[in-house]
Amino acid sequence: MSRPAVLFGGPSPEHDISILTGLQAARTLTEAGTSVDVVYWSKTGDWFLVEATMEAADFADGVPAKARQLRFEAAPGRGFFLKKKALSPSAVVICCHGGPGEDGTLQAALSLAGMRYTGPDAAGSLLGMDKYAFGSVVAAAGLPTLPRVLVAPDQAPAFDGPFIVKPRFGGSSIGIEVVEDWDTAVALVSRSPHMRRGAVVEPYLPKSRDLNISVRTFPQLELSPIEAPIRADDAARIYDYRQKYLAGGGLDGSAREIPADIPAAWTESIRSMSTTIAGLVRTRSVARIDFLQNGDDLYVNEINTIPGSLSAYLWAEAGVTRIQLLRDMVAEAEQSQPDAYTTAGADGAALRSASSIAAKLG
């Protein structure tokens, strides 16, 4: 029987946005008659069972008063427990943005427990989150992308400033800044809490604009209309977190042009590149792929493997309702096979033929 769990939150800078996406998903499924377990992952990394009817304000000061604590065991056949009772969801709808919820950490833990879940596996999730690795894979595939290098004091890039500096492992908007010179970029990395695990830098294109498209993989690979986000602040140098999530009601309410008023050739190119990228990242469920347009040039920017609001607003333009989007995500996950691991080849021969460990220490 289908009884998914919706999981959101997590120790991430995008914790709050994750709550909004998760509550939307839980409410949509519940109101459509699907029984769900709703799992909140707190900022401290603890797990709680909460009600699907809760509002965003219930989480504003931390764990809601009526939340019931869960424990999670990353072992075969285990997973989430409410005291001694297992939740045993048919699939987990992951609504976590940024941090360990989107970078493969959570996915690996669920896989170790033999659980089915939405979104890419651990490897695909990490590739989508690692801006340096993703840019390198895209470039190796022959797709157009801006040069992107790691920030290090003694490794200035071959291109001139101004630069846009991004956390290497981060979302699409938090912690990103524009700086004029390399020394400022290096200093920024040393003080930014979002760049402790490294940063990447690429040329800043002041006249560029964002073009985004969503991809979903069930019941077959489909592409949404293309959107052109509209900056609420014309003076802003980038389309940042504030404009994306706080202006105009955030998430679904931000100003945007759908479909984007762009030449047909650009539409065809974006759709073709998106199909390629979906394969490179092993995309599953719903993702959003972001491009930059600068004059007559198009560049692949990044992929969001768990996009805000699950890109429901883009799919609405294609005639796919929010409930259909979620039902398809759940169905795909339920039909998938949990990640399997093998010990083939580990037959003990190397252990039996080895000399003593003390001898090996030499």
* pLDDT confidence of residue 155: 87
* pLDDT confidence of residue 233: 59
**Are residues 200 and 111 part of one domain?**
no
Helix axes 122-129, 131-140, angle to 10 degrees: 90
Q: Which of 102, 120, 138 is the last residue of a domain?
A: 120
* pLDDT confidence of residue 306: 97
Contact at 8 Å (CB) between 54 and 36? Answer: no
**Are residues 58 and 13 part of one domain?**
yes
* pLDDT confidence of residue 251: 60
Residue 58 maps to a domain: yes
Tens-binned pLDDT, residue by residue, of the chain (362 aa): 799 999 999 999 999 999 999 999 999 999 999 999 999 999 999 999 999 999 999 999 999 999 999 999 999 999 999 999 999 999 999 999 999 999 999 999 999 999 999 999 999 999 999 999 999 999 999 999 999 999 998 889 999 999 999 999 987 778 999 999 999 999 999 999 999 999 999 999 999 999 999 999 999 999 999 999 987 655 555 655 555 555 545 566 678 899 999 999 999 999 999 999 999 999 999 999 999 999 999 999 999 999 999 999 999 999 999 999 999 999 999 999 998 889 999 999 999 999 889 888 86
Q: CA 164 to CA 148: how far, in whole Å?
A: 10
Query: CATH number of the domain that 17 lies in?
Result: 3.40.50.20
Residue 360 maps to a domain: no
Contact at 8 Å (CB) between 117 and 108? Answer: no
* pLDDT confidence of residue 361: 84
Q: CA 328 to CA 335: how far, in whole Å?
A: 11
Q: CA 142 to CA 157: how far, in whole Å?
A: 21
DSSP 244: I
Name residues whose C-beta falls within 8 Å of residue 326's C-beta, 6 or more positions apart in sequence.
25, 28, 29, 93, 310
Six-digit token string for 313: 């607003």
* pLDDT confidence of residue 255: 84
- Listed as own residue / partner, the contacts of 180-184 with beta carbons closer than 8 Å and 24 or more positions apart are 182/156, 182/157
According to DSSP H, which parts of 192-321 are helical?
Answer: 241, 264-280, 312-316
**Are residues 102 and 11 part of one domain?**
yes
Name residues whose C-beta falls within 8 Å of residue 319's C-beta, 6 or more positions apart in sequence.
none
Sign of the four-CA dihedral 116, 121, 125, 126: positive
Q: What element of type H or E holds 216?
A: strand 209-216
* pLDDT confidence of residue 336: 95
Q: CA 36 to CA 118: how far, in whole Å?
A: 15
- 195, with CB counted inside 10 A (0-12, 13-18, 19+), is buried
Longest dimension (CA), the chain: 71
* pLDDT confidence of residue 239: 55
**Are residues 57 and 93 part of one domain?**
yes
Residue 294 maps to a domain: no
Q: What element of type H or E holds 80?
A: strand 79-82
Domain range spanning residue 170? 147-204
3-class DSSP assignment, residue 41: strand
**Are residues 85 and 17 part of one domain?**
yes
Residue 269 maps to a domain: no
Query: ω into residue 219 within 30 of 0, thus cis?
Result: yes
Domain tally, the chain: 2
Query: CATH number of the domain that 152 lies in?
Result: 3.30.1490
Sign of the four-CA dihedral 126, 128, 132, 134: positive
* pLDDT confidence of residue 232: 65
Residue 22 maps to a domain: yes
